[in-house]
Structure 1
Amino acid sequence: MGSSSSSMDHIPDAQQLMQETGFSAAHLLRLHERFEVLDKDQRGELRPHDFGAVPELALNPIRDRIIGAFFSPGQETVNFASFVRTLAHFRPSDTNRTRDGAQPDPANSSTRKLKFAFRLYDQDRDGKISRAELLEVLREMLGMQVTEEQETEEQVTEEQLQSIAERAIQEADLDLDDAISFDEFRKSLEKVNIDHKMSIRFLK
């Protein structure tokens, strides 16, 4: 216990971070180790290219979007606290956790997870997922799955992608404005296990 607390001394605002994110002291220490490994220049902050060393992201087709989610618009670096707060979205939801109604939802709540996922699509931050934004994500996802060696008649065509995007918009767009709002996005994913979909094994 003593060695754990002494190790926590070099983590700024450790207690506040644990309370805010739900990570345990052991988790926070492990994340700090991962952060220091990524922070090769020992600056105490990460830049987008530093995330290239994360094997869990290397094969993710939308890794650039996930990495971008760690950074606010115009922000070029992220410190440890921001790093941990973003990763908290990928923690399993605390289904038995009770909270004061005055407190905001924790980052790992289903609502916050969905908002985080929504922002990965809504790149222009206008509160809607447009057809173009949906198509862009589909292209990125398929671009990683189809290598040059796999370019056969089985490859998904642009026309098929357009059809997939069209169907997704039609199914989710309840107010018929040709885009998907957050509420429509949330409703369309009601039966999806968001905890399972949003997981990054940073703690391994």
Structure 2
Amino acid sequence: MSASHSRFAAVGFDRNVFLDTLHRDFGMTDDVLMDRVFRTFDRDNDNCVSVVEWVEGLSVFLRGTLEERIKYCFEVYDLNGDGYISREEMFQMLKNSLLKQPSEEDPDEGIKDLVDIALKKMDHDHDGKLSFADFEEAVKNENLLLEAFGPCLPDIKSSMAFERRTFQEKRKL
């Protein structure tokens, strides 16, 4: 057993080890979203993902039901934890996750347009922000909206590769 594995068995993942894992095993690169994923896994807010938090988090991350994934994505996107995804939060996440295109026009304008489109499509009670109910209804109507504000779930390929590496059967020939 490597030193990092024995350290994990004793205490859990600290933030840096966790973020390295997200990057290495799941190809995540967005610092804001990776930090939010860490906060979502770290249920007791002790800046360490314990074995129990890791297993519970992974079960949603890799194999969660649509309902579990909606709750998880909402928590990731609610940057300040106030129960809403605000226009400012959407702007910040989209600005981070969209590729920077060299162009004459102000990229912030395009992002503001995307935020307006997202609100028009998802803000069912028209209060200018997304509650959990708004987000849930929008995603249930159109599953592609689950990761509307940036990739915070692994793609199928990296999920399967992770599961294969982690749970591969030892077969006797």
TM-score of the superposition, structure 2-length normalised? 0.71
Alignment of 1:57-136 (within 5 A): 57-61=26-30, 62-72=33-43, 74-92=45-63, 108-136=64-92
**One-letter code aligned to 2:25:** E
Q: RMSD value over aligned CA atoms?
A: 2.9
Give the deviation of 1:182 after TM superposition. Answer: 1.1
Higher-RCO chain (CA-CA 8 Å, sequence separation at least 6): 2
Partner of 1:50: 17
Kept in 2, the 8 Å contact 1:169–1:179? The answer is yes
Give the deviation of 1:52 after TM superposition. Answer: 3.4
Partner of 2:103: 153
Partner of 1:173: 123
Change in 2 beyond 3 A, CA 1:39/1:176: farther
Where structure 2 has 5 or more consecutive residues not aligned to the other structure, the ranges are: 147-151, 166-173
Change in 2 beyond 3 A, CA 1:52/1:119: closer
Please, which of 136, 143, 153 is the counterpart of residue 198 of structure 1? 153
Where structure 1 has 5 or more consecutive residues not aligned to the other structure, the ranges are: 1-32, 93-107
Change in 2 beyond 3 A, CA 1:38/1:137: farther
Change in 2 beyond 3 A, CA 1:125/1:171: same
**2-structure distance, mates of 1:38, 1:131:** 41
115-124 vs 151-160, which deviates more? 151-160
Question: If each structure's helix is expressed as a fraction of its own residues, which one has the higher value?
Answer: 2
**2-structure distance, mates of 1:134, 1:159:** 13
Give the deviation of 1:41 after TM superposition. Answer: 7.3
Change in 2 beyond 3 A, CA 1:41/1:114: closer
Equivalent pairs: percent with the same residue?
20
Partner of 2:171: none
Number of equivalenced pairs: 148
Partner of 1:29: none
Partner of 2:97: 141
Change in 2 beyond 3 A, CA 1:41/1:59: closer
Larger Rg: 1
TM-score of the superposition, structure 1-length normalised? 0.61
